[in-house]
Amino acid sequence: MSSESQSEKDVYSKYNLKRVINASGRMTILGVSTPRPEVVDTVLHGLNEYFEIKDLVDKTGQYIAKLLKVENAVVVSCASAGIVQAVAGLIIKDDRDLLFNLHSSDKYVPREIIVPKGHNVNFGAPISTMVSLGGGIAVEAGYANECKPEHIESLINPDTAAILYVKSHHCVQKSMLSVAQTAVIAKKYNIPLIVDAAAEEDLQTYYQQGADLVIYSGAKAIEGPTSGLVIGRQQAVEWLKLQSQGIGRPMKVGKEGILGLTKAIELYVTEPKHETGQQMVIRMTPFIENLNALDGISATVVWDGAGRDIARAEISFNTNVIGKSAAEVVSFMKQSDIAVYFREYKVNEGKVEADVRSVTSEQLDIIYNKIKNIIQGAK
């Protein structure tokens, strides 16, 4: 392991914190990602300066929009706050009465937000809760395992305020219409399209396909501080920005977050350091080979279910051989001094996935040895 400064050691000892190896990916429950030093420096500078915040929001938004070749952009506190404020912005627009009284007003405005049923997921909190917080009413289109253009079109009526498309590995992937198909419907009926693309890596494609607002997590693929990014059409983003005087007030992002994410986006666009899926495969290969040499364990490469260029190690546990279920192994992996977190979506099938984007080769060895000790009866 790399040497640590005294301050790093003090954080763990002072608060009695458990060390974590994050083999689950860019997950909020583990702090998401680690920004580059240049981003950390920008955050520190921002903390020690004063700005007219509206000016900072507007000017950084213009800078980001120019970088990404979009009409408008704004930094928000996180992707879920982006959903809430996007919904509120498209419902309220510039109605000052609703802006200040969304929580109590019974004024009629279109409030229905059409969401493919397979996209109304729990990403750590329910999508429908974000819609409700923004004053919307989530209306599910299609079925849990299928949504076609006609399913959305059949629900469009004078009460429709927007369509929300969630691009995520959490969502059902099969038999779902694409963002481009959804954009065609939105344009046909002159209805705004919101795309929640929190963990996606391409910061332009959904806007180019016709979305009015696209929402990203600032701390996932972009590797910025805790924050979110909303890009889109000029007027739609301006309506969203008005929410800082309404429901967006408790979701405000600090000056350091605004500057830090802006710097992270600049680096993401101009100096990409992304590890390709094939490079991940090469780095995982010794780890997978070691696991396959253990009785009752099999490991193989799998690719991201949402189509991103991310390779992972899928590890299967044969309960009859090792005497423990996958769920029990997962529980043991989180114990002792260093907790190891996997992607646990298939644990009921006896499988987990190891995401290596935030894992060093040394940490892969630790993971292997922990698994080996667990199946041999030690913790």
Could you write out the DSSP letters of every residue in 19-61? EEEEES-S-GGGT-----HHHHHHHHHHHT----HHHHHHHHH
Question: Cβ neighbours of residue 221 under 8 Å, at least 6 residues apart?
Answer: 26, 199, 200, 201, 268
Report if residue 1 sits inside a domain.
Answer: no
- Are residues 208 and 316 both part of a single domain? no
Report if residue 150 sits inside a domain.
Answer: yes
| Domain end among 229, 248, 270 | 270
pLDDT: which is higher, 102 or 213: 213
The yes-or-no verdict on residue 3 having pLDDT over 70 is no
How many domains are contained in the chain? 2
| Rounded distance between C-alpha atoms, residue 5 and residue 267, angstroms | 26
- Most confidently modeled of 64-68, 268-272, 317-321? 64-68
pLDDT (0 to 100) of residue 273: 64
| pLDDT tens readout for residues 103-140 | 888 899 999 999 999 898 888 889 999 999 999 999 99
| Rounded distance between C-alpha atoms, residue 256 and residue 262, angstroms | 10
| Domain end among 249, 270, 291 | 270
- Most confidently modeled of 12-16, 23-27, 168-172, 227-231? 227-231
| Rounded distance between C-alpha atoms, residue 217 and residue 223, angstroms | 9
| Domain end among 270, 305, 338 | 270
The yes-or-no verdict on residue 199 having pLDDT over 70 is yes
Strands (E), the chain: 19-23, 72-76, 112-116, 137-141, 160-166, 193-196, 213-217, 228-232, 297-303, 311-317, 338-342, 351-355
| pLDDT tens readout for residues 205-254 | 999 999 999 999 998 889 899 999 999 999 999 999 999 999 999 999 99
Which of these, 109, 111, 156, lies nearest to 133 by C-alpha position? 111
- Region 90-111 average pLDDT: 93
The yes-or-no verdict on residue 7 having pLDDT over 60 is no
Average pLDDT, the chain: 90
- Are residues 214 and 247 both part of a single domain? yes
Report if residue 114 sits inside a domain.
Answer: yes
In terms of residue numbers, what domain contains 264? 37-270
Among the ranges given (4-8, 54-58, 251-255), the one the predictor scored with the smallest mean pLDDT: 4-8
pLDDT (0 to 100) of residue 1: 39
Which of these, 194, 198, 301, 242, lies nearest to 97 by C-alpha position? 242
Q: pLDDT class for 14, splitting at 50, 70, 90?
A: confident
- Are residues 215 and 331 both part of a single domain? no
Q: pLDDT class for 309, splitting at 50, 70, 90?
A: confident
- Secondary structure tally for the chain: helices H, strands E: 15, 12
pLDDT (0 to 100) of residue 9: 58
- Are residues 88 and 223 both part of a single domain? yes
Give the CATH number of the domain where residue 283 resides.
3.90.1150.180
Q: pLDDT class for 30, splitting at 50, 70, 90?
A: low
Token pair, residue 311, equals 């390779």
Give the CATH number of the domain where residue 105 resides.
3.40.640.10
Q: pLDDT class for 6, splitting at 50, 70, 90?
A: low
Q: pLDDT class for 19, splitting at 50, 70, 90?
A: confident
pLDDT (0 to 100) of residue 133: 95
- Most confidently modeled of 23-37, 252-266, 299-313? 252-266
pLDDT: which is higher, 26 or 139: 139
